[in-house]
Structure 1
Amino acid sequence: MPYPDRFYPVVDSIAWVKRLAALGVGTVQLRAKDLDDGAALQLVTDALDAVKGTSVRLIINDYWRAAIVAGAQHLHLGQEDLATADLHEIRAAGLTLGLSTHDDAELETALAARPDYIALGPIFPTTLKSMRFAPQGIPKITDWKQRVGSIPLVAIGGIKLEQAEEIFAAGADSIAVVSDVTQNPDPDARVRAWLDFVAETA
């Protein structure tokens, strides 16, 4: 299986992780904000327990120390966290590393860290968090894919299933999805539709 999977949901609770695992999702990112070290370690430990025995590759957002201690395998960092993280320690622990990028300077910083994938966003306007960066638009995906080469490129930010075909055609290897799942009136059906789509277009 490619890493990350072409459909890559990002959620904020263990309940969501369990729900997605039960639906057969292959890659899930757990992104919970503003936890202290103890709470982060508990969350990561519990989340790893929740996916034990499933095929889910659980990506921990930001809490790299907790990820190492708890024995996680996959990590995602934003640029602010990347600036303070110990990349040598992360790599020594055997963690894969995905990085967020929003502009040219951040892309250069990310490439220097030799990540396992690079995320570009927001592609479209997103209501989930206030963004310092304007929407990138689909043409930017093509440009950045040419620049990152063989490194998988993940598109994120306001993306719905109806736009997936165009985004993959532009060069994205994976699409990270938040509100199209978590704010959907029927999340399970939406997840199944995403999984069907990526299976048909693989």
Structure 2
Amino acid sequence: MKIDPFYLIVDSAAWIERLVPLGVRLVQLRVKDMNEDGLRVEIRKAKALCARHDCQLIINDHWRLAIEEGCDFIHLGQEDLKTASLPEIRAAGVRLGLSTHDDAELETAVAAEPHYVALGPVYPTILKKMKWPPQGLERIRAWKERVAPLPLVAIGGLNPERLDGVFAAGADSAAVVTDITLNSDPEARTREWIEKTYQWR
């Protein structure tokens, strides 16, 4: 499958409403610490917004809710993969993306037959504390050789200035959180990402 080179990750439907209309084609809704009713509302809002703007929506972690709400793509971390039911996910026709940080996790991910594999953190990241050091561009190159023809998503510490190196190393998509959401002008930064990644579409 083809995956858009600009992979936006946000924690609310409000962010999707704000940024997706600018031309975002791929967004992950990653909501932590919310009850099920609240999550369902967020997913429904996000789904409607993405449908309106021809944007692919990926739901992080909450695979059962994603299936119930008719979403067509989920992303799981390694811990969530352990408790998820791959047969149920496949039976629902939901596509799957998986996070990886080391060789053991890559083996686990590939065995699950996902639709893409994510590698991180490529550079130091402020999003969350990581037990893994920055992977660097060489790891992207090595990972791409091992997962091809699956798309490879790079994540962690990325900004527009680092994208040439990330794509040259073999990444198919670059995921971003804080470079946009913590920017003083998230809309302008989003446009910058769209313009920068356009050549890889």
Superposition TM-score tier, normalisation by shorter sequence: over 0.9
Unaligned 5+ runs, structure 1: none
**Do structure 1's residue 6 and structure 2's residue 5 form an aligned pair?**
yes
Shift of 1:42: 2.6
One-letter code aligned to 2:183: N
Unaligned 5+ runs, structure 2: none
One-letter code aligned to 2:182: Q
Name the structure 1 match of 2:113.
114
Name the structure 2 match of 1:198.
197
Shift of 1:185: 1.3
Name the structure 2 match of 1:76.
75
Cα RMSD for the two superposed structures:
1.3
* Conservation of the 8 A alpha-carbon contact between 2:140 and 2:170: yes
Name the structure 1 match of 2:151.
152
Give the whole-Å Cα distance in 2 for the aligned partners of 1:186 and 1:65: 35
One-letter code aligned to 2:2: P
Aligned length: 201
% identical aligned pairs:
54
SS in 2 for 1:32: coil
* Conservation of the 8 A alpha-carbon contact between 2:119 and 2:154: yes
Name the structure 1 match of 2:48.
49
Give the whole-Å Cα distance in 1 for the aligned partners of 2:2 and 2:45: 25
Give TM-score, length-normalised by structure 2.
0.96
Give the whole-Å Cα distance in 1 for the aligned partners of 2:52 and 2:200: 27
**Do structure 1's residue 162 and structure 2's residue 161 form an aligned pair?**
yes
* Conservation of the 8 A alpha-carbon contact between 2:5 and 2:200: no
Give TM-score, length-normalised by structure 1.
0.95
Q: Per-residue CA shift, 1:124-176, capped at 9, x if unaligned?
A: 11111111211111110000000111000000001111000000000000000
Give the whole-Å Cα distance in 1 for the aligned partners of 2:127 and 2:63: 23
Q: Per-residue CA shift, 1:107-130, capped at 9, x if unaligned?
A: 000000000000000011111111
SS in 2 for 1:126: coil
Name the structure 1 match of 2:58.
59
Give the whole-Å Cα distance in 2 for the aligned partners of 1:117 and 1:24: 22
One-letter code aligned to 2:7: Y
One-letter code aligned to 1:2: K
* Conservation of the 8 A alpha-carbon contact between 2:67 and 2:92: yes
Name the structure 2 match of 1:18.
17
Give the whole-Å Cα distance in 2 for the aligned partners of 1:99 and 1:118: 5
Give the whole-Å Cα distance in 2 for the aligned partners of 1:35 and 1:166: 37
Name the structure 2 match of 1:143.
142
